[in-house]
A and B are shown apart, each in its own frame.
Chain A
Amino acid sequence: MSAGARRPGAYAPSARSETSRPGTDAILERRYRRLLACYPRFFRRESGDEILAVLMDCARPGQRWPSPGECADLLGSVVRMRLDPGRSSPPRAITRAARLMRVGAATEIAGLVIALATASSVQSALVRQHVTFLAGQWRDLLLFVEVGVPVPCFLWLWLAWASGRGHRWARSAFVGLFGMYTLIVLSKFAAGAATYAPADLVVVGIQWIIGLAVVLLLFSRSADTFYRHRSMPPAAARAR
């Protein structure tokens, strides 16, 4: 039968009255923030401001330092949370998805290497198929591939980073980009890329499968539950 504190009057929630000076509040707030900095970043971002507001509401008028009891309570809570990271960090499905996204970034580099290694055969196949294909067009195409690689590479890594930190928007962004990528793959097939650049298409296919696996992981039950708990309240509730 234990709870936060048991001595009546030892920590009575008392609305911080108007006797508190703004300067004192700022000092106390800064000191509370230092304590809150011990929480896992994820939890701090989610609830740090809220806990701070409650701490300030409960503080005594004129209080400048967190009391020993408050320090013990906050640090104890930090230890409990850090010993049980499963409570505050993304579930395994999301961390796996983030890891797969990093693999996806690596396949972009592999794709560039393959594109450069097979460039001459692809060029001759293109010239055979399209008699009007000019050397200038080929140079532009190659330049586009070389310069363009860092962009998807960055997107994979960026979304991996954001997903690993439990950002819900990263899931939406990934789904949008995966949809676009699917359209690009289909258009490549429609353009007959399978006949002139089969090696490149293998890489594209692997990337698509990785992307699909990421989407499935991000929409798994555990990930969905996690995002639902982390999400802001629904608009209807806000408007209440």
Chain B
Amino acid sequence: MQEATFLILTALASGSQHGYGIIADVREISGGDVTLRPGTLYTALERLRTDGLVAVDREAIVDNRLRRYYRLTPAGSERLAAEATRLRANATTALMRLSPAPGGAT
């Protein structure tokens, strides 16, 4: 799973959000490292919708502009959980190997 996809799913994990909200949330989640652009975001959302991981929750018109809210589907939640578990396992392994072994060479 690409980082952008992972971050979009993470942004939606706490509730439905519209496109602008996802961009802002991804920026916050990544500590300002990743800022999605609209083209990238909507290409990813299109793919996630087609794969059944994300669905449209509702629509609203704000200032005469369409605002569509997206939410995670159950399949999306499962996929995100699996990916998060995989990343955590990888990170744990990396940290374990970096930490000095007791009695090992310095």
Chain A contacts for B30, CB-based, 8 A: 3
- Nearest CB of B to A39, in Å: 9
Looking at chain A's contact residues, is the secondary structure mostly helix, strand, loop, or mixed? helix
Return the contact of B19 from the options A43, A53, A73, A78 (Cβ within 8 A).
A53
* A-B interface pairs (CB < 8 A), number: 120
B23 to chain A, nearest CB (A): 5
- Closest residue to A77 on the B side, CB-wise? B39
| Closest chain B residue, CB of each to CB of A237 | B58
Q: How far is the CA of A57 from the CA of B38 in the complex (A)?
A: 10
Which stretch from A10-18, A94-102, A157-165 is at the chain B interface? Answer: A10-18
* Contact among B40, B50, B59 for A4, CB-based, below 8 A: B40
Does A52 lie at the interface of the complex (its beta carbon under 8 Å from any beta carbon of B)?
yes
Cross-chain contact B42 with A47 (CB below 8 angstroms): yes
**Interface residues in chain B, defined as those with a beta carbon under 8 Å from any beta carbon in chain A:** 2-4, 7, 19-20, 23-24, 26-27, 30, 32-43, 46-47, 49-50, 52, 55-59, 62, 65-68
Q: List 25 A-B contacts (CB under 8 A).
A: A1-B3, A2-B2, A3-B30, A3-B40, A4-B35, A13-B24, A13-B27, A43-B46, A49-B66, A50-B68, A51-B39, A51-B42, A52-B65, A53-B20, A53-B65, A53-B66, A54-B20, A54-B38, A58-B38, A73-B39, A73-B40, A74-B37, A75-B39, A225-B52, A240-B58
User: B-contacting residues of A (Cβ < 8 Å)?
Assistant: 1-6, 8-13, 43, 47, 49-58, 69-70, 73-78, 80-81, 87-88, 225, 229, 232-233, 237-238, 240
